[in-house]
Amino acid sequence: MKPFVVCVIYLCCVILLVNAKEIHDVSHTASPYRDQGRPQFHLRPPQNWINDPNGPLYYKGVYHLFYQYNPYGSLFNQTIVWAHSASYDLVNWIHLKHALVPSKPFDMKSCWSGSATILPGNYPVILYTGLNINSQQVQNLAMPKNLSDPFLQEWVKYHGNPLMTPPPGVDPDDFRDPTTAWRGRDGIWRVVVGGLRNKIGVAILYKSKNFIHWSLHHAPLYSGNENAGIWECPDFFPVSVNGREGIENSENGTNLKYVLKVSFIFNTNDYYMIGSYDADKEKFVPDKIGLTGTHPDLRYDYGKFYASKSFYDSGKKRRILWGWINESDSSANDIKKGWAGIQSIPRQVYHSPTGTQLLQWPVKEIESLRDTHVTYTGKIVKSKSLFEVKGITASQADIDISFKMPKLDDAEIFNPKWNDPELLCRTKPATVSGQNGPFGLLLMASQDLTEHTAVFFRVFKNNQQFVVLMCSDQRRSSHTQEVDRTIYGAFIHMDHKDEMISLRSLVDHSVIESFGAEGRACITARVYPQFSSGKEAHVYAFNNGSADLFVSTLNAWSMKKSKGN
């Protein structure tokens, strides 16, 4: 092809992407509430309700994220479509026309969550749940109309849909959210669908030779405990035990572990297990029993983070995770704003060196938004004192602080009866002084500190290890009584050789994503202080412990607005 023709095609695609921002169902009327708390570098479309991330994929140099979207307003409505956004860098987004909308008997009432799979020959396809004309949940297939289009703007539903219908013992409204499929050494495809059978959550397994005709396997990939409710939005993927590099879903080999994650609707939390996959028996075998929907289970995020979806980024050989962050504000205010829900910052996820959990960290590309920078090194924070981090835009910031761990002998004794970190955060909040902590950050704070969100650590010793309590306390985040002001908590287990503990918080107006100990624990919060503008926000580092605290480094940046917000 001649260079001139290539340039013309490229320019046409760019123009099409730019114009695609204007493709929306409902015009948005200007409102004084519209920008109140609106994030500036988290992905969301200009208006209306969004929820679950769907079908993330990387295709011909372009990242794609689909997500559940209500084209008619800012509250959940069962008539949901697949909205579609594309990006070259996971930071700046273009909102394209909707990929899937209800139109056929097999999805006439809604196009619900699902996943994307890359078939051999770099051929992307989507499996999704349709709410059919009889309000039954069925699994459907969609394919791109034009493979030469890197933006995948048009999708065609397979004429033979549905591919899967509720199996025996599963109610028609308890069968949804297919995973990314994987292919075994035998060349046969597998996929898991979330369900509920006899009050037990199940990862229902299907197999196919051609990705069209699917047969129900005689047993689930894994089953949960009774009365925990349906397993929504399952995810199943391999991880390397030897580093941070991601693994494609169909890859077989040694030095792999497998992750099974499910979403529990009764408490809107995501839980996961690490284990092995017995391909001969078609069984997931966890290292530790879990998925009960209770505190001992592992979670991606101990705050507001649900219906998460991961994918393998073949461009940079990593696994990337997204989660839906819903509002904590009232429905009345969501209507006034004209929008509700955001997607989390995409996170790279990988197996921890200890083998006991996954670690998460914001993708490197988010650092391209860093602007004004301030730094502190070797600072002592006296007992029961704080200092303001000045020189940045505190309502739109990336803050990374490292504290020196106390001597093990100086730490408080951990009581083994403390098995609920959220409860411990409530009984030992930021205002209650201890030997080593609480210490951390006061974010989205008013100057008089009557409004603030405290994200902090409290250090205990447990034999020859540290147990660190990480808390995100929203109880003073706002004067208004309309918002949810929950306190979240997580335990971080650290070795006695660990000398430092870090806290990184991405602050974006009404959302605070915090990563403790380099991603060993993550807590996301929604906050709605009653500032008249974000310029009134402040950020402070504090130490309310009885011992002085050494801050090794503190780096903070103002963050620029990303494109597409």
Residues annotated as catalytic are 52
∠ CA(294), CA(272), CA(245), 5° rounding? 150
Cis peptide bond prior to 120, omega within 30° of 0:
no
Amino acid at 170: V
Q: What whole-number distance in Å separates Cα of residue 16 and Cα of residue 150?
A: 12
Q: Which two tokens stand for residue 556?
A: 């903070």
β-strand partners of 217: none
Q: What whole-number distance in Å separates Cα of residue 230 and Cα of residue 223?
A: 11
Q: What whole-number distance in Å separates Cα of residue 193 and Cα of residue 443?
A: 40
Exposure string for 455-490, b = 16+ CB within 10 A, e = fewer: bbbbbbbbeebbbbbbbbbbbbbbeeeebbbbbbbb
CA dist 196 → 123, 205, 217, 265, 394 (Å):
32, 13, 16, 12, 45
Helix (H) or strand (E) holding 424: helix 421-427
Q: CB-based burial of residue 225 (10 Å sphere; 0-12 exposed, 13-18 middle, 19+ buried)?
A: middle
Q: Are strands 306-313 and 283-286 parallel, antiparallel or unpaired?
A: unpaired
Q: Which two tokens stand for residue 383?
A: 């007992």
In 3-state terms, what secondary structure has residue 409?
A: helix
The H-assigned helical ranges of 213-272 are none
